[in-house]
Chains A and B, each alone.
Chain A
């Protein structure tokens, strides 16, 4: 049963911003902070999505995923490594049986402009290469034109092509203009079978913002209340430091509850965040502020 997506769920923009501001005043200290930082580390999709990526760079990123830090402090592993399709096999081999997933972007990342046949072929290629998770982008052009059924069918078709692989649907909220559109795109993606909804590709500014994330989290909550299905969330792009990451975790806890404080239900698409988390975890454990000089560059 496909709901009528032309109906608008109104979003109170000022209210959303105020709620975000209020949640940002929460202060997390000591053991809770350490817990949150370790959790955030486990939620990271370590990402490299550059035109200049090489097999060597991907190999290095996988090494970092496996051993984020060499020293006396215990740092948890990240959730996944996210790469372009040609590097899936390399990442899969490098990560072996570590339990770290390989995610691949697909469907003509990041513009989403390609024929349906090409998109499906790309998804199939990723899955065949061994990707555990597929990050697709929706066709924003069709969506903004009001062609909501197109978006629904697109996500549903890709979901089918994914098979066992988890599907994350990138809404690219920086191009959706309004929070109502973000809400609608979230609703469509979830109804069409997305396992995760994701804010951005990281290639468009603004990338993930807190208000957008809150709207998406509320969409997930409403979808859960209506259907009983738990959908995951992944903000991506622009989350570079521990402080920001903790603010997101507070939003998740307050909007969706503790069930979503789990790497299976919430992810950060980031690369710089990992180093800052490691630094802050060690700061918390030693009481001494750390320097980037003592950690790997990327």
Chain B
């Protein structure tokens, strides 16, 4: 089979549980470190983003009302599926320029981090919820609840662990999200969509787009139906524009720049709390 022509894969974006091409029909070439083109990547447009937000909004009701235990099972299932495809992820990270050792470490760390957040799905309420003392005859308690649709701008470096760190805490509490994958190195994020598709995660909970950061950042931060924005990176201009846009409806913005941090610094339940709201209930009681 010496003269076989290898079949190159067409990578698509992932919206509402479906693999779609960009509505705009635009692409950009992805090259490996030697400069050889390895794939065409969708250049998503604002309409793709709009469709993704609609899908995420529709998925929110179902995902947030699943039992916390079931969300936990599904996140764990995603980790299981990643384990089976670890070698593919390693290859893709090596294409980005990682050494074999570094790529392997990153993949295993990513899987472990997913398992870590899977564990928190049905536990963060207990830790962060409270029963509050009040002076009237009320039973007063507070529980954290998911906010809704979160737009996530994934980091440009250490893309796999970065993506997991960006997504897992957001969806663990029942949020849904629209993710803009790394512009330079989107391959592992796109392969991750196949994990999402095969691990019982309802369509629309995680939507992954590829494209140009400066083209889409405005859309990711102005859409009124987005409840929170998670920005992973350190570009000062982007951060300013996101914060200004978020002021339109006083949306929550969280900035992260810690893809290289050790697990014990990034793995904590406060990340889940970043995209929850506390609901306090006053329940009348007799004497």
Contacts and interface: CB of A to CB of B under 8 A. Distances in A.
A198 B249 CA distance: 41
A291 B225 CA distance: 4
B187 interface: no
A289 B53 CA distance: 10
Interface string B147-176: 000000000000000000000000000000
A290 B225 CA distance: 6
B222 interface: yes
A235 B249 CA distance: 36
A30 to B, nearest CB: 15
Interface in A269-298: 287-294
A204 B269 CA distance: 50
A297 to B, nearest CB: 14
Nearest to B225: A291
Q: Chain B interface residue count: which class?
A: 10 to 19
A291 B57 CA distance: 10
B271 interface: no
Interface string A70-112: 0000000000000000000000000000000000000000000
A33 to B, nearest CB: 14
Interface residues of A, number: 8
Interface string B210-229: 00000000010011110000
A291 B249 CA distance: 10
B50 interface: yes
A289 B45 CA distance: 14
B248 interface: yes
B53 A288 contact: no
A292 B222 contact: no
Contacts of B219: 289
Contacts of B225: 289-293
A294 B251 CA distance: 14
A244 to B, nearest CB: 14
Contacts of B224: 288-291, 293-294
Contacts of A289: 50, 53, 219, 222-225
A67 to B, nearest CB: 21
B250 to A, nearest CB: 12
B23 to A, nearest CB: 13
Interface string B119-153: 00000000000000000000000000000000000
Nearest to B219: A289
A288 B225 CA distance: 10
Contacts of A292: 57, 225
B50 A288 contact: no
A287 B222 CA distance: 9
Nearest to A287: B222
Contacts of A293: 224-225
A294 B222 CA distance: 15
Nearest to B148: A293
Given A289-B50, A289-B53, 17 more contacts: A288-B222, A288-B223, A288-B224, A288-B248, A289-B219, A289-B222, A289-B224, A289-B225, A290-B224, A290-B225, A291-B223, A291-B225, A291-B249, A292-B57, A292-B225, A293-B224, A294-B224
The 4 closest A-B pairs by CB, nearest first: A291-B225, A291-B224, A289-B223, A288-B222
5 contacts: A289-B222, A290-B224, A291-B225, A293-B224, A294-B224
